[in-house]
Amino acid sequence: MAEKEIQPCDIMAVGAHPDDVEHCIGGSLIKWARAGKRILILHMTGGEKGTHGSQSLRREEAEAAAEALGCDVAFLDFPDTEIRFTTESRNRFIREVRKYRPRVILSQYHDFPRMHPDHEQTGLIVKNAFRPARFKAIETPPYPPHWVESIFWYLIPLTMKPSFVVDVSDVMDEWHRAAECYASQLGNIPNYYQRLIRLKQHAGWLIGVEHGEAFLSDAPINATDSDILSFSPRPEFEGFTPGLPRS
């Protein structure tokens, strides 16, 4: 069977485990997808050591959730609970960046006390791969160096002020459908679903809307130079429904 053709993406959304990306920022991904952005969700692990759901089930859930959001999906297959920032893990991630050539990377924040250690380690790998992904001296054949425009962090501590919040109030129905693809998690972890909703309500409150998703940028954003924060649908994508083919 021929390997699926690799398509460069506008946005690479990185999460330590299946469901991290979709549950935390799935609403934003829906809006970016509707605006014609090509999005790849990259899961660092298969979530195989989670209390609920086998690795094969969680992979099936991840694929269903990505389809519901209108995104592509890939897995890096680090061992669950054993992600560590090292030169080797950084270079493995750099290879994926060069393979998919995103303009922007979204990642869990790298300094969040009492959070799952895989989340922080994922953030550290992303942070430390950002600039070296450009370096010719780091070889990842057959993929050449690649320059990423920005990193935006999600799942940031509530004590930190986000750089921007995406209003997802108008796509919550679609987000619910995608989030519910992870029945192994939503149906078994007490109050998990309620916590997700409260986080979106809190982020929404910051900008005066019902539901939002918060992001942090380490550097000022040149809003006039990049269209990545524009959520207006391109003419050819008007009427696009997440989960349906774009062509």
194-237 pLDDT per residue, tens: 999 999 999 999 999 999 999 999 998 887 766 777 775 544 44
Helices 55-69 and 172-179: crossing angle, nearest 10°? 160
For residue range 26-43, list pLDDT tens digits in order.
999 999 999 999 999 999
Helices 20-34 and 192-206: crossing angle, nearest 10°? 50
Read off the amino acid at residue 97.
V
> Which domains are seen in the chain, by residue range?
11-218 (3.40.50.10320)
Dist. CA 177–CA 179, nearest whole Å:
6
For residue 58, pLDDT over 50 is answered with yes
- How far, in Å, are 91, 112, 164, 193, 214 from residue 220 at the CA level? 27, 22, 11, 33, 16
CA 207 to chain centre: 22
Q: How confident is the model at residue 246 (pLDDT cuts 50, 70, 90)?
A: very low
pLDDT value at position 56?
84
pLDDT value at position 190?
72
For residue 173, pLDDT over 50 is answered with yes
Read off the amino acid at residue 215.
F
Say which DSSP state 6 is in. Answer: P
